[in-house]
């Protein structure tokens, strides 16, 4: 919302959710047309080994760098402990369907976090000054916002894994499932984005929880719930990364020993990366434009256009022809903007409105607002 402008941001959320819905169904249709049951085999059959290699890199990188946790107190210890205690054991499962109950818990916690954000929008929002350009329709960083939204919605890399876990999987059944999931997800995202932005406007951080004060016990509980959702979500991402390694280096099958070894290696390296990174915004932007955008916009469209024998005027082909160049533009320009327009993070520092004795919220000077704005990042993405 902060990058794109609030009204345009809402419109872009609906648009990205629609594109996600369409491309997820398109992906399974492509699998049916090609007689394949994995994303990698679909691209390999459509574009040969170069396409297979490119997709493998993208599928590996997206879930691999999706876990930058940000815990203020005892950050390194908590990340290490939660990884060994929860993330690694859950990631060792071989059947993704066994994570169904875990995903349900994660979704429930997300709803609880949303309630906390909504409550603070009512109680805290009126006491924080609104920035001058808070309500403009559009802002120049809208492309970066699309990258962040793509990051939030993408699940293409594990779509075939989920599809194969369904009882009697069919394209029609998959379509109904995706429509329902995307509708729920987009409204959760809109509520999060709206409540977060209405509370903090131009002061919004890349990690929304950095905006709240440390002595806010309710938000501290929300941070705990958010950490749990990350712990419960990451094993699904590990499934994809491990599958890529298995397909590229082991012919698609891992023995029990190599299954454990590969899982431990992936989790270990990902944890080391998360220990070094505490600025969520740049991770969301780069991962969104470099990995999520081609996986959502470009590759499913390209595969379907090459495989389908439908006439050019068919709605799926028209939409694919539109998505492909848009995805390319978002990928190229989003990457350039993310590199040239990098944003700072407060790295856990308290925001100015957390010190009422030293700052008057009702008599905010323009210079202080401008200085504080420079501390904030330009992304909001809590739910995936």
Query: pLDDT tens-digit profile of 253-266?
Result: 888 888 899 888 88
Alpha-carbon distance of 125 to 103, in angstroms, equals 31
Query: pLDDT tens-digit profile of 13-59?
Result: 999 999 999 999 999 999 999 998 888 899 999 999 899 889 888 88
291 versus 301: which is more confidently predicted? 301
Residue 155 falls inside a structural domain: yes
Query: E strands, the chain, where?
Result: none
Domain of residue 80 covers: 6-373
Alpha-carbon distance of 178 to 25, in angstroms, equals 8
**What percent of the chain is modeled with pLDDT above 90?**
31
Residue 339 falls inside a structural domain: yes
Alpha-carbon distance of 260 to 94, in angstroms, equals 10
Residue 380 falls inside a structural domain: no
Residue 11 falls inside a structural domain: yes
Query: pLDDT tens-digit profile of 138-187?
Result: 998 888 889 889 888 888 878 888 898 888 889 999 999 999 999 999 99
pLDDT tier, 369 (very low <50, low <70, confident <90, very high otherwise): very low
91 versus 67: which is more confidently predicted? 91
**Is 327 in contact with 356 (CB distance < 8 Å)?**
no
Does the structure show a pLDDT above 60 at 275? yes
Least confident of 3-17, 101-115, 263-277: 263-277
| pLDDT for the residue 372 | 32
Total domains in the chain come to: 1
Which residue is it, tokens 């808070």? 134
354 versus 29: which is more confidently predicted? 29
Residue 338 falls inside a structural domain: yes
Residue 384 falls inside a structural domain: no
Residue 382 falls inside a structural domain: no
Q: Integer distance in angstroms from the first to the last C-alpha of the chain?
A: 16
- Average pLDDT (357-377) is 38
Average predicted confidence (pLDDT) for the chain: 82
Residue 1 falls inside a structural domain: no
CATH number at residue 67: 1.20.1740.10
């Amino acid at each position: 919302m902060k990058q794109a402008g609030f009204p345009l941001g809402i419109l872009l959320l609906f648009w990205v959710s629609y594109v996600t819905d369409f491309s997820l169904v398109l992906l399974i249709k492509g699998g049916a047309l090609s007689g394949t049951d994995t994303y990698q085999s679909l691209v390999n059959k459509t574009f040969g080994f170069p396409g297979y290699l490119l997709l493998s890199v993208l599928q590996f990188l997206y879930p691999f760098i999706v876990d930058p946790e940000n815990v203020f107190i005892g950050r390194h210890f908590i990340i290490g402990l939660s990884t060994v205690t929860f993330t690694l054991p859950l990631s060792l499962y071989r059947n993704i369907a066994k994570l169904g109950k875990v995903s349900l818990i994660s979704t429930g916690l997300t709803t609880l976090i949303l309630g906390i954000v909504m409550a603070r929008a009512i109680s805290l929002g009126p006491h924080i000054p609104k920035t001058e350009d808070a309500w403009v329709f559009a802002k120049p960083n809208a492309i970066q916002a699309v990258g962040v939204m793509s990051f939030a919605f993408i699940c293409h890399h594990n779509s075939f894994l989920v599809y194969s876990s369904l009882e009697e999987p069919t394209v029609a059944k998959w379509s109904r499932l995706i429509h329902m999931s995307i509708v729920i997800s987009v409204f959760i995202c809109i509520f999060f984005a709206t409540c977060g932005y209405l509370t903090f406007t131009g002061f919004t951080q890349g990690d929304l929880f950095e905006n709240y004060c440390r002595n806010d016990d309710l938000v501290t509980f929300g941070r705990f719930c958010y950490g749990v959702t990350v712990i419960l979500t990451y094993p699904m991402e590990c499934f994809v990364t491990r599958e890529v390694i298995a397909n590229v280096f082991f012919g698609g099958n891992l023995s029990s020993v190599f299954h454990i070894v590969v899982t431990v290696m992936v989790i270990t390296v990902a944890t080391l990366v998360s220990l070094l990174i505490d600025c969520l915004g740049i991770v969301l932007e780069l991962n969104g434009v470099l990995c999520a955008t081609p996986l959502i916009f470009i590759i499913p469209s390209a595969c379907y256009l090459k495989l389908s024998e439908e006439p050019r005027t068919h709605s799926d082909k028209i939409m694919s022809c539109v998505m492909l160049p848009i995805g390319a533009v978002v990928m190229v320009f989003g990457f350039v903007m993310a590199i040239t327009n990098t944003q700072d993070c407060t790295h856990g520092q308290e925001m100015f409105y957390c010190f009422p004795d030293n700052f008057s919220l009702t008599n905010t000077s323009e210079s202080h607002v401008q200085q504080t704005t420079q501390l904030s990042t330009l992304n909001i993405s809590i739910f995936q």
